Structure 1
Amino acid sequence: MIKRLSLISASVALGCIATILPVMTSIYIADEDAERREQRDLQEFAAKAVMRAELVTYQAFAALSDMGAAPGKTCSPAYIEQLARVTFNYRYVQDAGAYGDGQYLCSPLLGDVRARHLTMPPPSWRSNDGYLVWFRQKYPLSDAREDLRIGRNGNYVSIDPQSYVDLIDPARRPIAVINIETNTVLAVSPGADGDDMLRAWNQAGHVDNEQWHYAAARSSTRPLGVVVKSARTSLFSNWTGLLAMWLSVGVLVGGLLGWVAFRRVTRQLSFPATLQWAIARKNIDVNFQPIVNLASGECVGVEALVRWQLNGRFISPEIFVSVAEENGLIQPLTDLVLDKTIVELSTLLRSRPTFYVSINVSSEDLCTRRFVNILTTRLEGTGIRPAQIRIEATERSFMDADATRETIAAFRNAGHPVYIDDFGTGYSSLSYLQTFTIDVLKIDKSFIDTIGQDAASSIVAPHIIQMAHELGVQIVAEGVEHQVQIDYLVQRGVQFGQGWFFAKAMRAEELGTWLDERSLNLQPMNQEHGPIET
């Protein structure tokens, strides 16, 4: 009897261990994964903060440039009126004035103060390109407030340092912006410790701290650095409580949990196999969303978008494309999209030599010439011009810069223009993009949605547009849904747009009908306003 009880007890103990050990191991792995995710998210937030710092500085430089064209003599009424206009035009500029011989001369806020001989202290730092910077200087109008001042050629602008760290962040993570040449903290968010953030910057964000994660990033165009931090969270901090809970629960429900886990794992493992089966049997559909010339309204091309219906239910592309990437199926999926596009649009493309279709290409096919060779082979004898098949790649596909640069060159040499899709989500800088030769930037829908809204993220779209113009590439705005967005984009020189305002993604046969109807609708407009150049 004692032996039997001992055996039962041992069995129960082993059963508990067999149930608890995988659970605790999973918790530990989940805790480690959560830490990695937090650090990655924090690094992305630091990159966004760098973009904000660059934009504030860019506005200060642009304001100083406008001030150089002010009419009349220094401090004349016309001169001060122009400075007031500059202050109004740039949201981060709080005052714009003139100085000389170590004194304030005039500004819209101060007026003409030459007779008052208000002393202006020497600058804190001079940049290599001739800009003078005063760190945290008190203004004559206030004994308490400290501004950041930037000057050049006798003109200066005052900026609230909080503009550099005023990002919309529900988590309210502390931010600090640093001049990396002088190792000076320019701005910190409310509640942040400047000394702590500066120490973190000097350690490149690699701080051993049980309470906080740190991340550091720097601008590629200005001597600016950013440090951010977020509170650590740990699933394993209360491991004794977790162990006690799972010991009690594991004996009762271990078998049930094992059965549920088995069913879930079985379904998850079968999903890639189902996707592979669908690709092999060409049960994946391709829809086409129009891309429209914003100025003329003419549809100039389409983007090929993959769609999958499984057992009568549509599967989100974000789900099955990710599964394809993780299971070595993305290249067969891309090949299928190309084959279906050529079959379904060949007649349309041959009849409209300037009409094009863009196809999304994975990071794997941006590192080799595999898809370039397939594309060349597929187009032979079709009558479709190479420029009618265009390549789209996301920013994250550019990680292997050297291999990607060679593949992009191969696509372009073969006659296929190259687009950067969802631009802005990867926080690429202008200097980084200049290392690649591309043809078009596509601004992500999340930034187009903010047009006309008073939000911090609404500043990103004009910044991207300016970057594209400096690169000399064309722009496609994604997710256009309202006329006010079109007016805004056209005013800023954006050439093309796509989104539900024009049409949703549709099948090839629907596309032909839609194009014919749109041409008929545009003809009266063209006759009224004269011929439209495209």
Structure 2
Amino acid sequence: MIKRITVVSASVALGCLATVVPVLTSLYVAKKDVERRERAEIKDFAKKAIMRAEVVTSQAFAALNDLDQQPGAPCSPPNLEHAARVIYNYRYVQDAGAYADGLYLCSPLLGDVRAKDLTLPPPDYRSNEGYSMWFRRRSPLSNERNDLQIGRNGRYVSIDRGSYVDLIDPAKRPIAAIQTATGTLIAVSTGADPGDMLNAWKQSGNVKSDEWNYAVAQSSTRQIAVVVKSPRSSIAGNWPKLLAAWLSIGVTAGALLGWLAYKRISWQFSFPATLEWAISRRKIDVVYQPIVRIADNECVGVEALTRWTLHGQAISPEVFVRVAEENNLIQFLTDVVLEKTIAQLGKMLVANPTFYVSINVSSEDLRSVRFLNLLTSSLAGTGITPRQIRIEATERSFMNTDETRGVIAAFRAAGHPIYIDDFGTGYSSLSYLQSFEIDVLKIDKSFVDT
């Protein structure tokens, strides 16, 4: 009898264990999975935030370089007109002007204020590259906002600090941008605790908190970092779905199918963000297609082509270039191609002055001289001649004729030959292209076959 009771008790106990242990295990695994997803989500958002911060900072430096090209004497009408164009061309620049000896001189918004003695205090930080920074400078135009001002060579630009943290985020997660060389808080979103965000940055996001998750993203190209935090309470909202999934599907098959579905959905919905990250981290590769002269079979140049491998899989340029165009990333992609091309082929181009490389640009690159200015500054001091860098665009890039015509002329005036690629796939009209000054017309095979 006792043995029977013992066996029954053991059976009941084992049955309970067999029932409870999988449930408890599922609960534990589901909880850990939610936490992992929370961390992954906030890290992805931090990547987007640091890319915005890099874009804002890069525009400020590019605008300063543009100001160095100002015509005429400081504060002259041509000089102020050029500064006004700089403000218009760079989205995050609020004002651009001149200063000297601790005084504002002029800007398109201030006008000529040399007689007003508007004081500009010593900068908060001077970089080794000669940039001066005022992290919270009250604009003479307003008593309600402190801007970030960056200056060099007597020229300055003002940036609305809110641009660093003004991201579209339905969850309204707190964001902070920090200048890493000084540990100075540049900007913080409304409602965020500045001290808390600075402390999280100092600890690389490893803050012990029962209420918040933290993530820190550091720029690899600029002295800037961002801190993002997200409430842990969002775990409760995801709990029912995740718990039901873990309990209703077999452990092995369910985990495998769930993982595959998660990876697939994540790839589809975060592809633009992944591409944005790849561009900012210079994960885009450049390969070179030889250009052979038919007369003597000599390789006279190459065409720079973009390639991208994601998780061991090659992504077609037709796919990621289109995504770059649709998500305002194409200009940054062109910049990376230029940067890598000069780094990889620079010595060969200098050693072979007749050898050239053709770089593909987009329609966005032909709407302003932004890329031309970058190209000019990139070639300075390298020994590479402008003629060795040829600009190639598809026929469809010439849609905005009024904007494009002037930019094309500027490229040619700077010494860069212009190629039209895939002629015959777009407008297919030679008369349409007569208004453009081009050097080479590459006719598409389908057009010739027709």
Both structures adopt the same fold (TM-score exceeding 0.5): yes
- Could you say which residue in structure 1 is the equivalent of 2:84? 84
TM-score, normalization by structure 2: 0.63
Cα deviation, 1:373-400, whole Å, max 9, x if unaligned, reads xxxxxxxxxxxxxxxxxxxxxxxxxxxx
Q: Does 1:150 align with 2:150?
A: yes
Cα deviation, 1:386-443, whole Å, max 9, x if unaligned, reads xxxxxxxxxxxxxxxxxxxxxxxxxxxxxxxxxxx98953724667559x77552456
Cα deviation, 1:223-276, whole Å, max 9, x if unaligned, reads 11111111124768999xx9xxx9xx9xxxxxxx99x745x95698899xxxxx
User: Is the contact between residue 64 and residue 157 of structure 1 (CA under 8 Å) also seen in structure 2?
Assistant: yes
- Could you say which residue in structure 2 is the equivalent of 1:205? 205
Find the aligned partners of 1:524 and 1:106 in 2 and give their Cα distance.
47
- Could you say which residue in structure 2 is the equivalent of 1:532? 442
- Could you say which residue in structure 2 is the equivalent of 1:18? 18
- Could you say which residue in structure 2 is the equivalent of 1:34? 34
SS in 2 for 1:150: strand
- Could you say which residue in structure 2 is the equivalent of 1:512? none
Find the aligned partners of 1:238 and 1:527 in 2 and give their Cα distance.
59
Matches within 5 A, 1:130-279: 130-233=130-233, 261=249
CA RMSD, 1 decimal: 4.6
Find the aligned partners of 2:218 and 2:80 in 1 and give their Cα distance.
36
User: Is the contact between residue 394 and residue 423 of structure 2 (CA under 8 Å) also seen in structure 1?
Assistant: no
What amino acid is the match of 2:442? I
Cα deviation, 1:329-368, whole Å, max 9, x if unaligned, reads xxxxxxxxxxxxxxxxxxxxxxxxxxxxxxxxxxxxxxxx
Q: 1:461 aligns with which of 307, 322, 330?
A: 330
- Give 1:29 shift: 1.0
What amino acid is the match of 1:468? V
User: Is the contact between residue 214 and residue 229 of structure 1 (CA under 8 Å) also seen in structure 2?
Assistant: yes
What amino acid is the match of 1:87? I
- Give 1:448 shift: 4.2
SS in 2 for 1:62: helix
- Give 1:201 shift: 0.7
SS in 1 for 2:143: coil
User: Is the contact between residue 149 and residue 158 of structure 1 (CA under 8 Å) also seen in structure 2?
Assistant: yes
- Could you say which residue in structure 1 is the equivalent of 2:104? 104
SS in 1 for 2:45: helix
Task: Classify 1:533/1:446 alpha carbon distance in 2 versus 1 (closer, same or farther; 3 Å).
Answer: closer
Find the aligned partners of 1:102 and 1:266 in 2 and give their Cα distance.
70
User: Is the contact between residue 526 and residue 532 of structure 1 (CA under 8 Å) also seen in structure 2?
Assistant: no
SS in 2 for 1:199: helix
Task: Classify 1:269/1:224 alpha carbon distance in 2 versus 1 (closer, same or farther; 3 Å).
Answer: closer
Q: Does 1:425 align with 2:275?
A: yes
User: Is the contact between residue 72 and residue 79 of structure 2 (CA under 8 Å) also seen in structure 1?
Assistant: yes
Task: Classify 1:184/1:444 alpha carbon distance in 2 versus 1 (closer, same or farther; 3 Å).
Answer: farther
Find the aligned partners of 2:122 and 2:137 in 1 and give their Cα distance.
10
Task: Classify 1:215/1:33 alpha carbon distance in 2 versus 1 (closer, same or farther; 3 Å).
Answer: same
Unaligned runs of 5+ in 1: 250-256, 272-314, 323-420, 453-457, 478-484, 498-518
Task: Classify 1:230/1:524 alpha carbon distance in 2 versus 1 (closer, same or farther; 3 Å).
Answer: closer
Unaligned runs of 5+ in 2: 289-305, 309-316, 345-356, 372-390, 396-421, 434-439, 445-450
Whose relative contact order is higher, 1 or 2, with alpha carbons under 8 Å and at least 6 apart? 1
Aligned residues: 341
- Could you say which residue in structure 2 is the equivalent of 1:48? 48
Task: Classify 1:4/1:45 alpha carbon distance in 2 versus 1 (closer, same or farther; 3 Å).
Answer: same
Cα deviation, 1:273-328, whole Å, max 9, x if unaligned, reads xxxxxxxxxxxxxxxxxxxxxxxxxxxxxxxxxxxxxxxxxx99x869x9xxxxxx
Find the aligned partners of 1:63 and 1:223 in 2 and give their Cα distance.
18
What amino acid is the match of 2:217? A
Find the aligned partners of 1:268 and 1:83 in 2 and give their Cα distance.
59
Task: Classify 1:144/1:49 alpha carbon distance in 2 versus 1 (closer, same or farther; 3 Å).
Answer: same
SS in 2 for 1:216: strand
What amino acid is the match of 1:463? F
Find the aligned partners of 1:219 and 1:78 in 2 and give their Cα distance.
36
What amino acid is the match of 1:462? Q
User: Is the contact between residue 165 and residue 189 of structure 1 (CA under 8 Å) also seen in structure 2?
Assistant: yes
Find the aligned partners of 2:13 and 2:199 in 1 and give their Cα distance.
50
TM-score, normalization by structure 1: 0.54
- Give 1:475 shift: 11
